């Protein structure tokens, strides 16, 4: 059986020296970092919650979740709000890159690259303008 290749639109962002991608069709909003209301007794990567358009959204420090190192907050940081299983979650990233498309059949194995991120959180590696972009498996990461 031949697998059909599909074109996937991604939003890229940086965490440390690595570039990652998330599917654009699951992203509902990208925003500057607002004041985050902290919650006691939660995982260290859960920064707290924000309220957007009347909806309470948990905010995850994606770098902390993936590597154990906290994000250094600065003016380039952004919150990517994703919809997953009819819920929303905000992901703190260090900076945004460009949107790009890739063919699903052209993804390279995540085992073939050095990364601080465990390979079970990666769908694969895409190439865009000579950059290697790690495509995150957001379902494994947030599921």
Tokens of 135: 């495509």
Handedness of CA 138, 121, 133, 72 (dihedral sign): positive
Tokens 């420090």 belong to 61
Structure confidence by residue, pLDDT tens digits, 8-21: 899 999 998 899 99
Please tell me which residue, 135 or 103, carries the higher pLDDT value.
Answer: 135
Tokens 């690259």 belong to 113
Highest mean pLDDT among 44-48, 82-86, 111-115: 44-48
Tokens 């890739």 belong to 102
Q: State the pLDDT at residue 116.
A: 83
CA distance 100 to 23: 10
In 3D space, the residue among 81, 83, 82, 79 whose CA is nearest the CA of residue 92 turns out to be 79
Task: Please state the rounded mean pLDDT for residues 27-55.
Answer: 96
Which secondary structure element, helix H or strand E, spans residue 141, and what is its range? helix 138-142
Task: Please state the rounded mean pLDDT for residues 116-127.
Answer: 88
Least confident window among 45-54, 102-111, 120-129: 102-111
In 3D space, the residue among 75, 76, 50, 46 whose CA is nearest the CA of residue 62 turns out to be 46
What is the average pLDDT value for the chain, to the nearest integer? 90
Cβ atoms of residues 94 and 63 within 8 Å: yes
CA distance 8 to 43: 32
- 29 Cβ partners below 8 Å, 6+ apart? 52, 80, 81
CA distance 3 to 96: 31
Q: State the pLDDT at residue 88.
A: 96
- Does residue 1 register a pLDDT over 70? no
pTM score, whole prediction: 0.90
pLDDT interval class at 106 (50, 70, 90) = confident
- Does residue 4 register a pLDDT over 70? no
Q: State the pLDDT at residue 39.
A: 94
């Amino acid at each position: 059986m031949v697998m059909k290749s599909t074109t996937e639109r991604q939003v890229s962002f940086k965490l440390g020296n690595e570039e990652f991608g998330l599917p654009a069709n699951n992203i509902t909003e990208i925003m500057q970092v607002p004041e985050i209301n902290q919650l006691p007794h939660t995982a260290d990567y859960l920064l707290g919650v924000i309220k957007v358009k009347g909806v309470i959204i948990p905010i995850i420090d994606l770098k902390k979740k993936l590597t154990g190192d906290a994000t250094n907050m600065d003016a380039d940081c952004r919150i990517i709000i994703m919809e997953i299983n009819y819920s929303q979650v905000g992901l703190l990233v260090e900076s945004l890159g460009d949107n790009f498309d890739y063919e699903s059949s052209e993804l390279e194995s995540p085992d073939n690259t050095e990364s601080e991120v465990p390979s079970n959180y990666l769908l694969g590696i895409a190439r865009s303008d000579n950059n290697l972009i790690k495509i995150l498996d957001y379902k494994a990461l947030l599921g």
